[in-house]
Amino acid sequence: MKADQFQAPDYYNLDELLSDEHKMVRDAAREWVKREVSPIIEEAAQKAEFPKQLIKGLAEIGAFGPYIPEEYGGAGLDQISYGLIMQEIERGDSGVRSTASVQSSLVMYPIFKYGTEEQKKKYLPKLASGEMMGCFGLTEPDHGSNPGGMTTNFKDKGDYYLLNGAKMWISNATFADIAIVWAKDEEGRIHGLIVERGMEGFTTPETHNKWSLRASATGELVFNNVKVPKENLMPEKSGLGAPLGCLDSARYGIAWGAIGAAMDCYDTALRYAKEREQFGKPIASFQLQQKKLAEMITEITKAQLLAWRLGVMRNEGTATSAQISMAKRNNVAMAINIAREARQILGGMGITGEYSIMRHSMNLESVITYEGTHDIHLLITGLDITGIPAFQ
Ligand SMILES: Cc1cc2nc3c(=O)[nH]c(=O)nc-3n(C[C@H](O)[C@H](O)[C@H](O)COP(=O)(O)OP(=O)(O)OC[C@H]3O[C@@H](n4cnc5c(N)ncnc54)[C@H](O)[C@@H]3O)c2cc1C
């Protein structure tokens, strides 16, 4: 892969909206990605392997639980810093950002929000340091966009809960030490359970042959009469709102992360267009190529403003789930469109692993589908503005 020459676009001087701490956190993540991720990520993606050697560094830049309080091992940062870290990691690769998102928003967040004090003390510091890794099991083979229909269930056996069922498409499944599993009790109410690797009857087969998020490990979670200790149930929230609360946090991070992937594609295409000559001139001098590049920077700038404003509202505690849906949907679509256009600017070179664009493009095909598909987020906006659900 080509040396990482990334220069971040900031067309509207958005840096002026950031505090010194935001910039320090962002710059540390940016440097780390350049040093540790860029040199190895293409090979990891080609081999379809999650680069586990990045776990320690991810923890050091605060990517595991950025906004979890320091008393539990988190970085105690605000929502803008969290977003900026996700942006920088996804600038490197969406798969690596997925690992960080799952660990922070889908494993640490539910333990922090819905767990007991004992659970917080037992798991959070180890998850923050990367000593322990987690995954999040909501999606099932027959229930994706409609997770409320899940059939994974547990029965109260007096001394323990007996868990049965299966989850699929689970990021980090193959190496996670713990899984946050959403399952129904005997009354059909959804609860979160902390299932540990090694519990009898719990297996995590890998999902092979992906063309997308190849540097992220994806797998199934299979529960065959797993005896889960009663103290592993997270008691503070139940119902579908509990997993959806985690998804709000993760989707917010994705809204920022997608900007990182888009920035990388734009920056690569701009540099290439200025250097590559055809018909005796740089291809950047042709109007058709300028149109592509001008539209890219316009869309990136709009997405940056959307994410920043959402971050301010998240800090104030006023951002709604529907507002988060809008940003996730818009920014991921923006990024995937930019990746496709940027790929064309590189001509044949665009399809090779010499450049990051094709990898970003393929990765974003998962990002536009997971954590609520593009269409489902549109229906959430539709419901919010009309008051009428159009899901069924
Ligand atoms: C690489 C990867 C990693 C993932 N990681 C995780 C993870 O860590 N944990 C986890 O729990 N899940 C994970 N997922 C699962 C992901 O969240 C689901 O794939 C997603 O929610 C969509 O579900 P589905 O694939 O079953 O598609 P479906 O729900 O079957 O949807 C198929 C199509 O139908 C459309 N559709 C569905 N319902 C409606 C409707 N009412 N109206 C209009 N259109 C509709 C959808 O928009 C979509 O286009 C991951 C997925 C991928 C690909």
What does the pLDDT average to over 350-360?
A: 97
> Per 3-state DSSP, what percentage of the chain is helix, strand, and coil (rounded to 5)?
55, 15, 30
Q: What is the largest CA-CA distance in the chain?
A: 79
CA angle 135, 258, 334 (to 5 degrees): 140
Q: Is 169 in the pocket of ligand 1 (CB under 6 A)?
A: yes
Rounded distance from Cα 352 to ligand 1 centre (Å): 29
Residue 371: active-site member: yes
CA angle 145, 370, 214 (to 5 degrees): 140
pLDDT for 93: 98
pLDDT for 151: 98
* DSSP string of 144-186, one letter each residue: SS-GGG---EEEE-SSEEEEEEEEEEEETTTT-SEEEEEEE-T
pLDDT tens column, 59-109: 999 999 999 999 999 999 999 999 999 999 999 999 999 999 999 999 999
Identify whether the C-beta of residue 320 lies closer than 8 Å to the C-beta of residue 312: no
Identify whether the C-beta of residue 40 lies closer than 8 Å to the C-beta of residue 326: no
Using the 8-state DSSP alphabet, how is residue 69 labeled? -
Q: Is 134 in the pocket of ligand 1 (CB under 6 A)?
A: no
Rounded distance from Cα 79 to ligand 1 centre (Å): 26
pLDDT for 1: 76
Whether residue 358 is predicted with pLDDT greater than 80 in this model: the reply is yes
Enter the pTM of the model: 0.97
Q: Is 101 in the pocket of ligand 1 (CB under 6 A)?
A: no
CA nearest 84: which of 62, 57, 107?
62
Indicate the top mutation candidate among 96, 145, 254 to test ligand 1's pocket, ranked by most ligand atoms within 8 A of CB.
145
pLDDT for 284: 98
Q: Is 366 in the pocket of ligand 1 (CB under 6 A)?
A: yes
pLDDT tens column, 126-145: 999 999 999 999 999 999 99
Rounded distance from Cα 372 to ligand 1 centre (Å): 6
Q: How far apart are the C-alpha atoms of 367 and 351, rounded to whole Å?
A: 20
pLDDT tens column, 232-273: 999 999 999 999 999 999 999 999 999 999 999 999 999 999
CA nearest 225: which of 151, 162, 284?
162
Q: How many CA atoms within 13 Å lie on the side-chain side of 176? A: 35
CA angle 389, 332, 221 (to 5 degrees): 75
